[in-house]
Structure formats: structure tokens, C-alpha cells
Amino acid sequence: TRPGVAPLIELNDGKTIPSLGLGTWLGFTKSGDRVPVNDDSVQKAVELAIDAGYRHIDTAAVYSTEEQVGAAIKKKIEEGAVARGDLFVTSKLWNNNHAKSAVVPALKESLARLGLEYLDLYLIHWPIAQTEHSAYADIDYVETWQGMMDAQAAGLAKSIGVSNFNVTQLDRLISMSKVKPAALQIEVNLNLQQTELLNFCKAQNIAVIGYTPFGSLFHGKAAADAPPPRSDDQALLKIADRHHKTVAQINLRYLIELGVIPIPKSVTKKRIEANIEVFDFQLNQQERDVLKSFDKNYRTIAVTQWKDSPYYPFNK
């Protein structure tokens, strides 16, 4: 096993986070259903990732992959490949547990599925609260955050943060709470470069974790209306050739140079290994200008089914 290859970044609470992680959400099928989680592909992926030098793994209660992530970590620790303290494990609170008193119990359930005693980072997955039956619940995320602070005080989560909050929501949370989020996880990719949130988080010293980092780069995943580029884009291929890298690696490197911590998901050995080989080269300004030109404020994960919630974070 190789040592972790992604440099560590310091968080505003004094902890550190590896600057690239592995995503473990299996996603939706073309027809919009959740990909069933009925094999051990995620466990295998996490084992391969740890062998390849990943030390940061991203999961969530709602992904149904926490057990597999935990099984892989257990195996790698037993093998002596890594120690728990070398790893950075993130999970997320689902919308049905937003009551202040529900947060710690939900986190304990995630820990039980993962077989861990603590998380490195626990995130509020969405600012939107729902009931068990997916109706909207009238719970302010500021209340939910009180439960997150309890979880951190109990040592169950070393760091706490939020996901899918907009600038207004984040600013309001900060002004109304004693603990500032250590991290914000949002969609960031070539079509959605998030300049406003990145600038806000930089000024507030909040780390930005970028989900769906490939956006619509791959033909198999891109919606018909998604703006370019695809992975066979001539300008991107030229940049990739110049650095002896793939277009996927150029995409990830660009996000890192924007100050984002990408969490690419793959269950494919060669891709898992390639996606972390992005710390041995740098893009120049002219190349970054080409990559900037694809920024179209286009969202891959829009969750328009929640657009009527008063807490919906995105432009309608």
C-alpha cells in the first residue's frame, strides 16, 4: 500500500482533510431510479482506493453504502494497510432526521453501519427537512445544526458541516450559531464552477468539497441538454496530451486548482487509480482559461422535486 497521496488541507476547527476523496453514491439509472446496492462493488472500490492511496471516503446514510464502506475499512485496518487515524470518513444526515434530538441517534446508526466509533466529518445532507413519508417538515436547519454541535461535543464527529446550502443559508447559519461549519459540500464541475460560493467560503475559511466533479463530461451520463464539453472535446484532449494525462485527470486537477476538494466516484480499478494521480502536474493560465469557458451555471443534480420547499437552495 502506498502512503496517502492527496495533500492535507487544514480546516477552520484545526483538523485536516485530504484534498481528494472517493465518492460512494451509486447514482440513478437513466430512468431516474436509484441504482440498486446489491453487490459488493462499493466495498471493492474502497479497498482498491485505499491501496491506491486514497485516505478520504465520502458516504451518506441515504446511499445505502455505509456497510460496504465500513467492511472495506475494517479489512484494510486488519491487514495493517492503514490505521483509523490515517483515514477521513464523511457521512451525512438525511432529511428525515432534522429535529435537534434526532441528529445524534441518526449519527449513531451511521456509525453502527460503518463499524466506526467516530466520523471525521458529518454533514447536513440538504437544508430541507422531511418527514418519514417525504412530506416537508417545518424544521429550520439552524435547529438541526444544534444537534450537529451536540454530536461534535460528544466526540461522534470530529468536524461538522453542511451540504447543498446556498450563500444566504450559509451566511444565516453562521450568524445564528456558535460553531461555524468546517466544510460545505456542493456540486462543482466544469459546467458549474460556483464562483460565488467559493469566494464566500474562502473568506469564511470553510473548505469546499466538490461533488459530481465530472458533471456531464462522459457521454454515458450527460443529459441531452447538458452543455459541452464531453471527454472527446478537442481543446481538452490537447491539454491532456500536453501533460500526458487523461481529460478526466485534467478536469479533477482544474477543480483542485480552484481550491475545491473533489470526491470522484468510481467502482472501476483503473479509474480509481487514475483519479488520484493529479498531484504531480499543474495547469497554466491559458489552460485554466479554456476550462473556465465551460462554466455555464448548469446543474447536473437539480432535485427539482423539492423546488416548492421554503428551504430549496437552488434557483428555480
Active site residues: 63
Q: Does residue 58 belong to the site contacting ligand NDP (CB under 6 A)?
A: yes
**Cβ atoms of residues 4 and 25 within 8 Å:** no
Options 110-118, 148-156, 258-266, 285-293: segment touching ligand NDP (CB under 6 A): 258-266
Q: Does residue 104 belong to the site contacting ligand NDP (CB under 6 A)?
A: no
Q: Does residue 66 belong to the site contacting ligand NDP (CB under 6 A)?
A: no
Options 105-113, 131-139, 197-205, 266-274: segment touching ligand NDP (CB under 6 A): 266-274
Nearer to ligand NDP, 84 or 271 (CB): 271
**Cell numbers that stand for 159 in this block:** 468536524
**Cell numbers that stand for 10 in this block:** 487544514
**CA 94 to CA 85: how far, in whole Å?**
26
Q: Chain-centre distance of CA 36, in angstroms?
A: 20
**Cβ atoms of residues 56 and 298 within 8 Å:** no
Kindly give, in sequence order, each residue whose CB lies less than 8 Å from that of residue 12, ignoring residues fewer than 6 positions away: 180, 182, 204, 205, 206, 207
Which of 95, 212, 239, 258 forms a contact with ligand NDP (CB under 6 A)?
Answer: 212
171: which DSSP letter?
H
Which of 268, 293, 297, 304 forms a contact with ligand NDP (CB under 6 A)?
Answer: 268
Residue 136: CB minimum distance to ligand NDP, A: 18
Residues in the chain: 316
Beta-bridge mates of residue 123 = 92, 161
**CA 91 to CA 99: how far, in whole Å?**
18
**CA 305 to CA 28: how far, in whole Å?**
15
Options 29-37, 104-112, 143-151, 262-270: segment touching ligand NDP (CB under 6 A): 262-270
Which of 88, 214, 254, 306 forms a contact with ligand NDP (CB under 6 A)?
Answer: 214
Which parts of 13-52 interact with ligand NDP (CB under 6 A)? Answer: 23-25, 27
Which of 44, 75, 84, 271 forms a contact with ligand NDP (CB under 6 A)?
Answer: 271
User: Interface mask (CB under 6 A) for ligand NDP, residues 172-191, using x and -?
Assistant: -------------x------
Grid look-up 412530506 returns: 135
Nearer to ligand NDP, 72 or 286 (CB): 72
**CA 187 to CA 314: how far, in whole Å?**
11
- In degrees and rounded to multiples of 5, residue 167 shows phi and psi of -60, -45
Options 208-216, 222-230, 291-299, 304-312: segment touching ligand NDP (CB under 6 A): 208-216
Binding site for ligand NDP (CB under 6 A): 23-25, 27, 58, 125, 163-164, 185, 211-214, 218, 221, 248, 263-268, 271, 274-275, 301
